[in-house]
Structure 1
């Protein structure tokens, strides 16, 4: 038993699920620890009311103060350090995802940014090949350590600070302050593609826990983590899938969206909208369904991406275009959730029953290589990654577009394809053929899906939350990094 205090940074919807809606929190509290969760100030009271229990305290993450410090203290230097940490991981692992972001930056940068790009590319080249250069960058950034959370450190005297990234987001300031005070720090990997898409830590972090041996190798080889400092604990957020905790009944779910129980359900989760429109994928699917052109009578449920709700954006325009397309298509429906609030956006913990039920009852699930290919494989449903390009991409001056057909070599995308956990469609004809295959024989690729989940999630018995909580508790009780 311990009477120590742990700080947990839950700075987005997925981290709310990871820490507060799994066995991670109960495992920590059962040890006698006091847990202080820091989250978006805009929903602090809402989170406190929903998860209220002894020894759990909710405080604000002070995003406004973080932004002010970032903007007023050598803003350009901090900005480019952040970018170099992102792009500058070792080339000992697949860098294709980072290369896509580098191309985007070169295309969308301001005139001054474009002038700096040769230097940035040169520094990226060096960082990817020199561990000493990477260490120098990580050490240099420590000079930007504000005192945003000083009063909270003094008030609660934490023995451990845990964040949902190793300082890739605003959590870098909290973690830097902890390190400056000599307090041990740890991070968890919330997202499937995080270790391959974001690289160098934004703060000194002593320990990290990840999903699998695959992610551990990405952290060790790509981001210079010491193997003994990387723990494989599985993915707590998926315990509810393995246990069936969140799943509604089929009747309830179909009634929620006005679905026809006599038609097969196709579900499409929009993805990758930052780089490329989803519209061509949606149009091809909607037309196949509306025209009853498949082997079975079907209906389509389209899950919009969080970016589709950004006011005035290209993505919002695409969402409106989708709404217009499906008008008059009675068997095509949209999922449009209500946001949690604050800055945590859409599709947070409130969305888990919706998401779990959509995957569980889909006769075929479709997306563009999103993390939901992993989640759907847990439910053993057929999966299709649809990569039909919209001619010209976004067709907007200054906006970078990347062909969906180019992204298959990105690390997580490559693993999905190599595992044979699903199929990939590059045009409407291929899409139709794959859908008909899965509609006629849904057991196709089932063995590959099960192997894929074992490799990516490690623990498939719903124990990841307990395992991760136990690991964090051991760090708390150890009392030293």
Structure 2
């Protein structure tokens, strides 16, 4: 029996690993045992109901303390690499906090450290001198043959990787999101091989993090596997009846950006509603909130009896962040929603890729609805991030600069949905690579070849 450790410490990891063919393909081998690492007992209990298997074990990692030196290296990772995204974040904090000393110090510190020599030294010292024992006992108990880390930027998972390296156990890391390389700092430690969802992320890992080209496997995006077939698509009448909406009206999805990055979601919902009522009354809007955000208190919903809303996600904590999950039913509902919608309106978000997979026109809001908010809370500033600049460059996303332009392009896309189709196809090709629905199996087969 060979044991594989897999980290499931966030909703993104669960969506990519548990809700795809990865876990099932691994367990199809009768000699494979999988140990899933989760953040808390609530998550373990939640997954055990759905993924109960005699060769699946759950380990809760919730009681740990990082050593001062570990915390130091976690701080330094933000200065060991220079990206336009990190520079943007520092500028936003400068605008909001007015701390010129911190901004200039950070700039100079990064200019000094973000060089291959210092990166190699930092990795050597990190691997050699950090001595946290978070995973010592579970490695002793299970004696794994392989460690699969679904978030190489997470401090806890870096500790798991460090333990694996000390013991000579083969490791595989997965860059589970298109924005991670340019926004999360330097990869403190590099696994034996790295799985990248696409060639863009692969090249970023080589350029920013000095990951050897030959150590990177391009897999595709596993959570999109379910999108590439029409299986489980509801008839239009059934879907709209379920949503208590009119199947004769065109459906427009609005994707709020969330409380962390904006205070204007509700104002934008009201603006969208008013514009559609006046200019395109034959449409209807669905506000689909992000699973890692809290949509707001019930009072906001009661103010808007006309609002149709999706608030997906199971939340295991009270804060905004990574401690969430989406059930299989919620992911299938999203698939049906995208299939039946006419177009998407949102800010900078990965849901733009989801919509492009279904060849739905995509409009991004390029104007602020509130003025005087902190820079960090101005959602239009997110278009300057590295990953989203590349998405916009495909021509598959229409960035509008005013309410008038927003309505103009909604009308155009409703009348001619084929507009910008080549750009959307390019966006899908660059971000997804594979459209065969077999990425989950491809990743699992790759993991099995590492044993």
Q: TM-score, normalised by structure 2?
A: 0.89
Q: Can you list the C-alpha shifts for 1:305-342, whole angstroms capped at 9, x where unaligned? A: 34542xxxxx84xx678536x625x2x32212352535
Match of 1:447, SS state, is helix
CA contact (8 A) 1:145 1:177 kept: no
CA 1:411–1:231 in structure 2 vs 1: closer, same or farther (change >3 Å)?
A: same
Could you say which residue in structure 2 is the equivalent of 1:183? 169
Summarize the Cα distance change of 1:4–1:108 in structure 2 as closer, same or farther, 3 Å threshold: farther
What's 2:433 paired with?
Answer: 458
Structure 2: distance between partners of 1:192 and 1:413: 9
How many Å apart are 1:469 and its aligned residue? 1.0
Structure-2 change in CA distance of 1:362 and 1:86 (3 Å): farther
1:323 alignment partner, one of 301, 306, 331? 301
CA RMSD, Structure 1 to Structure 2 (Å):
2.7
**Residue 385 (str. 1) matches residue 384 (str. 2):** no
Q: Identify which of 65, 84, 104 aligns with 1:96.
A: 84
Matches within 5 A, 1:84-233: 84-89=76-81, 91=82, 95-106=83-94, 117-128=103-114, 130-142=115-127, 143-233=129-219
Indicate which of 326, 332, 352 corresponds to 1:373.
Answer: 352
Contact 2:15 2:325 in 1 (8 A): no
Give deviations 1:66-113, integer Å, cap 9, x for gaps.
xxx13xx32xx6555324324532x5xxx22212222345467798xx
Distance 1:13 1:244 in 2: 25
For structure 1, which segment, 194-203 or 467-476, has the greater mean C-alpha deviation from structure 2 after superposition?
194-203
In structure 2, distance between residues paired with 1:87 and 1:431: 39
* Correspondence for 2:288: 303
1:224/1:353 CA distance change after superposition, 3 Å: same
- Tell me the residue number matched to 2:421: 446
Does the aligned pair in 2 maintain the 1:167–1:173 contact within 8 Å?
no
Q: Do the aligned partners of 1:7 and 1:36 also contact (CA within 8 Å) in 2?
A: yes
Once the two structures are TM-superposed, the CA of residue 468 in structure 1 deviates from its matched residue by 1.0
Secondary structure in 2 matching 1:444: coil
Structure 1's 423 and 115: CA in aligned 2 closer, same or farther, altered over 3 A?
Answer: closer
CA distance in 2, matches of 1:272, 1:411: 20
Q: Name the structure 2 match of 1:348.
A: 326
User: Deviation per CA, 1:375-424, whole angstroms, max 9, x where unpaired?
Assistant: 111111111111221333535xxxx4364444433222222221111211
Give the CA deviation at 1:238: 0.7
Per-residue displacement from partner, 1:429-465 (whole Å, max 9, x unpaired)?
1100010001111122223212321221111010111
Deviates more, 1:433-442 or 1:140-149: 140-149
Q: Is the 8 A contact 2:314 2:327 kept in 1?
A: no
Partner of 1:81: 73
Determine the structure 2 residue equivalent to 1:44. Answer: 44
Number of residue pairs matched?
Answer: 443
3-state SS, counterpart of residue 271 of structure 2: helix
Q: 1:413 to 1:321 in 2, by over 3 A?
A: farther
| Contact 1:306–1:345 (Cα < 8 Å) also in 2 | no
Query: CA distance change for structure 1 residues 88 and 203 in 2, over 3 Å: closer, same or farther?
Result: same
**What's the offset of the Cα at 1:354?**
2.6
Q: Which ranges of structure 1 fall in alignment gaps of 5 or more residues?
A: 310-314, 477-481
Correspondence for 1:7: 5
| 1:15 CA drift (Å) | 1.1
Matches within 5 A, 1:219-298: 219-245=205-231, 247-271=233-257, 273-279=259-265, 280-289=267-276, 291-294=277-280, 297-298=282-283
Decide whether the 8 Å contact of 1:87 with 1:98 is kept in 2.
Answer: no
Structure 1: distance between partners of 2:151 and 2:157: 7
Counterpart-to-counterpart distance in 1, 2:230 and 2:75 = 39
Query: Aligned in 2, Cα 1:33/1:131: closer, same or farther, shift over 3 Å?
Result: same
CA separation of 1:209/1:338 partners in 2, compared to 1, >3 Å: closer, same or farther? closer
The answer to whether 1:358 aligns with 2:333 is no
TM-score by length of 1: 0.84
Secondary structure (helix, strand or coil) at the match of 1:473 reads helix
